[in-house]
Structure 1
């Protein structure tokens, strides 16, 4: 039987196309329970690698014969060894190239829509981390919103599309992932925008992202308008793109709302969060399509792999938008905060420009699931 390498990109297609997959995850139980590869039609068996050193005979009957079997570990080595043992037992099997490390870093660009005058809007879905980045393209120009640290993904995509990156935005100072925004701006000569209320400690130059700022992309004049929307951070800013799309950053998600505590100010910022969700957003057109900066669960993905939903539908369905009492809202938010993201204080320091970890250190900082939302 054969052992075949499966790439993160191939796994991503199985997620997006709702294909079946059986995952034999050989990491320790706590690592698996904290964070695994999520798929609509995936089944799992978690047996730590050390429990398989004497052989895989006992687990062979648990492996299906009617779907692909993928062995997964942290960095690849253990999964390859287990896959070879499974193969020697007479079964075809795959192993994940680069392990969970590669899954965490993979980005899948998906077209959201055409825009006015021939423009396009793309969502970059980081399935392993729940991060969502965006690129607006129009007549040879591009703007990027909430880029993650894999800058070449964005610059290479712009080259493929034959567009020049002119503007780079971060909706807020991120705490759960390392931003690639200012590095893309430095590499391309683009303008880098950051909300000034989040940027008081940054050690680099930036252009203030102020409420009401309008940036036009391309000769067709696609507008990106900034809407101050604090609550996740004190500077959080949303965008309305082409009068059709509401990019909410980490304030509003499809299935939840943003957490206000990643600067240690939950009690102070929960009022701002309610003001944004219950007043500022209520004044917007309900036909706007919400595009958040993160997703939490695989069920938030649409059939085409995008994460997007009409604002009016969220007003009706999202529990975080339907808590009548301000006191109940405050308790719901502050009593249901998930664990802090891994190394979030260090990540904030990186995004302020105060520390510059190497690539391996950055990978370690980001390992684990997205934890930007109230549960």
Structure 2
């Protein structure tokens, strides 16, 4: 009976439930340190932690914490331990128990495409939400042509989407040299014969050919126009894009509820001034009606009701604390003293994105495990 009572659910189906704000009860059976560092979050999620090794003899120790009137979803690191614990829960008399397929590894890698809006000259812009990692990438589509921005290394979701919509990729951009996740931009460009672009100030050590992005450059994708704006601070080369005077893709410079950290290349002291100039001068020159589309989000609180992560620039200047620090000295202090821990394997990730090392697929997964930490707290 236990095996019949235990079901599995894919991360894709679970993500839809999260984005639909369904009431979910999740039991995470990873070690407590791993759970405390990084977990599934969402508007109506109730999640508890009970390590797998504490449940080998049964679930009596957590029985009173398990709901009898709703589904129970069990997750672990890779999907194996959760199946065992789910069976234990079913044997204890609970029904509708699910093991989450692939565990937190699968959760980390899922990409959910969400339409952000229409372009004024015809076309659309889509946001690919990597909900388990907080990464956001973008596809600008116009007249059957497409441009990808800040591509993740999992290429299948992008390729399935562009194939389904019959899109020809022409341009692929990275707003900066990423340090928290491995870029799939160059590989996607090679597969589709598209041009790959990177800011040259971030690319002094890269081991491959690329097209340079310069301040003021404009790129035509169908009837859409992407204009590059040099916006250093997170990295020395960080570049933003204005799409059809409607959307501002900020990379890791400006988020919905925070601002980018300047230290992932060991240059925090040097780049704080650049960061302030970008946030307090360069972006100030732009219209408040631009919709900010960042490359990351920190928590589920930054997500809109449809799952997208976006807000008007003018609203952020009113509500984002990082944009409302009058004193330069106080800004420097805030930025340098409120940095979270470095992203896992960030130096190896940077070297991978430079083309200096080529880790195997499983090693790349391990390098990316954990939350993104690109923001000032």
In the alignment, the residues of structure 1 paired with residue 68 and residue 256 of structure 2 have an alpha-carbon distance, to the nearest angstrom, of 36
Structural mapping, 1:78-157, within 5 Å: 78-92=81-95, 93-157=97-161
Match of 2:197 in 1: 193
In the alignment, the residues of structure 1 paired with residue 44 and residue 307 of structure 2 have an alpha-carbon distance, to the nearest angstrom, of 14
Query: Could you tell me which of 54, 63, 80 is aligned with 2:57?
Result: 54
Q: For residues 251-308 of structure 1, give each alpha carbon's deviation from its aligned partner in whole angstroms, at most 9, with x where no partner exists.
A: 0000000000000000000000000000000000000000000000100000010000
In the alignment, the residues of structure 1 paired with residue 142 and residue 70 of structure 2 have an alpha-carbon distance, to the nearest angstrom, of 42
Q: CA deviation at 1:91?
A: 1.0
- Tell me if the contact between 2:140 and 2:148 (Cα under 8 Å) persists in the aligned partners: yes
Match of 1:305 in 2: 307
Identify the range of structure 1 (280-289 vs 150-159) with the bigger mean alpha-carbon deviation: 150-159
Identify the range of structure 1 (243-252 vs 110-119) with the bigger mean alpha-carbon deviation: 110-119
Match of 1:342 in 2: 344
Match of 2:209 in 1: 205
In the alignment, the residues of structure 2 paired with residue 61 and residue 336 of structure 1 have an alpha-carbon distance, to the nearest angstrom, of 39
3-state secondary structure, aligned to 1:118: coil
Match of 1:255 in 2: 257
In the alignment, the residues of structure 2 paired with residue 152 and residue 14 of structure 1 have an alpha-carbon distance, to the nearest angstrom, of 22
In the alignment, the residues of structure 2 paired with residue 118 and residue 149 of structure 1 have an alpha-carbon distance, to the nearest angstrom, of 29
Taking structure 2 as the reference length, the TM-score comes to: 0.98
Q: CA deviation at 1:118?
A: 3.0
Match of 1:67 in 2: 70
- Tell me if the contact between 2:28 and 2:49 (Cα under 8 Å) persists in the aligned partners: yes
In the alignment, the residues of structure 2 paired with residue 171 and residue 159 of structure 1 have an alpha-carbon distance, to the nearest angstrom, of 24
Unmatched tracts of structure 2, length 5 or more: none
- Tell me if the contact between 2:234 and 2:262 (Cα under 8 Å) persists in the aligned partners: yes
Match of 2:48 in 1: 45
Q: For residues 233-258 of structure 1, give each alpha carbon's deviation from its aligned partner in whole angstroms, at most 9, with x where no partner exists.
A: 00000000011000000000000000
Match of 1:352 in 2: 354
Match of 1:295 in 2: 297
- Tell me if the contact between 2:127 and 2:137 (Cα under 8 Å) persists in the aligned partners: yes
Q: CA deviation at 1:116?
A: 2.5
Matched, 1:165 2:188: no
- Tell me if the contact between 2:117 and 2:126 (Cα under 8 Å) persists in the aligned partners: yes
3-state secondary structure, aligned to 1:254: coil
Runs of 4+ in structure 1 deviating by more than 3 angstroms, as ranges, are: none
3-state secondary structure, aligned to 2:60: coil
- Tell me if the contact between 2:122 and 2:224 (Cα under 8 Å) persists in the aligned partners: no
Structural mapping, 1:207-222, within 5 Å: 207-218=211-222, 221-222=223-224
In the alignment, the residues of structure 1 paired with residue 116 and residue 329 of structure 2 have an alpha-carbon distance, to the nearest angstrom, of 37
In the alignment, the residues of structure 2 paired with residue 271 and residue 108 of structure 1 have an alpha-carbon distance, to the nearest angstrom, of 35
Q: CA deviation at 1:154?
A: 1.2
- Tell me if the contact between 2:224 and 2:243 (Cα under 8 Å) persists in the aligned partners: yes
Matched, 1:7 2:5: no
Match of 1:280 in 2: 282
Match of 2:232 in 1: 230
Aligned length: 373
Q: CA deviation at 1:350?
A: 0.3
In the alignment, the residues of structure 1 paired with residue 61 and residue 326 of structure 2 have an alpha-carbon distance, to the nearest angstrom, of 54
Structural mapping, 1:355-370, within 5 Å: 355-370=357-372
In the alignment, the residues of structure 2 paired with residue 3 and residue 224 of structure 1 have an alpha-carbon distance, to the nearest angstrom, of 49
Match of 2:334 in 1: 332
Q: For residues 44-79 of structure 1, give each alpha carbon's deviation from its aligned partner in whole angstroms, at most 9, with x where no partner exists.
A: 121100001111123222111232211110001110
3-state secondary structure, aligned to 2:61: coil
